[in-house]
Amino acid sequence: MTNQQILERLPYSKPFLFVDELLDVNENGAKGTFFFDADLDFYKGHFRDNPITPGVILIETMAQIGVVSLGIYLLDDDFNKQTTIALTSSEIEFLKPVFPNEKVVVTSSKKYFRFGKLKCVVEMRNAKDEIVCSGTISGIITNK
């Protein structure tokens, strides 16, 4: 499966799609990018006069690139419109803020994928190659 095919199968659309490009997806992990445009709605109120990207959005970005994209790759032909992917747990440490108009790179490494549960070690880096946040994210993949 190509990276473009994975992007097309992601179950999100703007304004809740946080994947611009998948750089690499293989059986061991995924790597991709997202640009946080200053016009995104959540910047209007987080924080007033000093906008930063909310932590929950950073987690969602890491999940979409590092877990969901990898899950689609691992399922390949078994991924279809009846497949659902849900976050089951995350443990993320936030080290630096992400400001409007920043591009980030997310990298994940598969810890395990069994019984429909995918657990990954993830990290997000900014344009200076500094770790912004890192930790683990787990998701469950089932058919409706």
With contact defined as beta carbons under 8 Å apart, do 11 and 30 qualify? Answer: no
Amino acid type, 90: S
SS3 per-residue string spanning 56-114:
HHHHHHHHHHHHHHHHHHHHHHHCCCCEEEEEEEEEEEECCCCCCCEEEEEEEEEEEEE
pLDDT > 90 fraction of the chain, expressed in percent and rounded:
81
Greater pLDDT, 82 or 18: 18
Structure tokens at 22: 């998948």
Q: Which residues are catalytic?
A: 46
Q: What pLDDT, in 10s, does the model give residues 73-117?
A: 998 877 776 788 888 899 999 999 999 999 999 999 999 999 889
pLDDT for the residue 142: 79
pLDDT for 84 equals 81
Q: If we measure between CA atoms, which residue out of 94, 91, 101 comes closest to residue 34?
A: 101
Rg (CA), the chain: 15
Across all residues in the chain, what is the average pLDDT? 94
Q: Which residue has the tokens 């209007």?
A: 44
Domains of the chain, earliest start first? 3-143 (3.10.129.10)
pLDDT score recorded for residue 80: 74
pLDDT value for 69: 96
Predicted local confidence at residue 100, as pLDDT: 97
- Residue predicted with more confidence, 132 or 46: 132
**Structure confidence by residue, pLDDT tens digits, 58-78:** 999 999 999 999 999 998 877
Q: In the predicted model, what is the mean pLDDT of residues 39-54?
A: 92
Q: What is the DSSP letter of 52?
A: -
- Mean of pLDDT values over 124-135: 98
Inter-residue long-range contacts of 2-6, CB under 8 Å, 24+ positions, other chains counted:
6/69, 6/72, 6/73
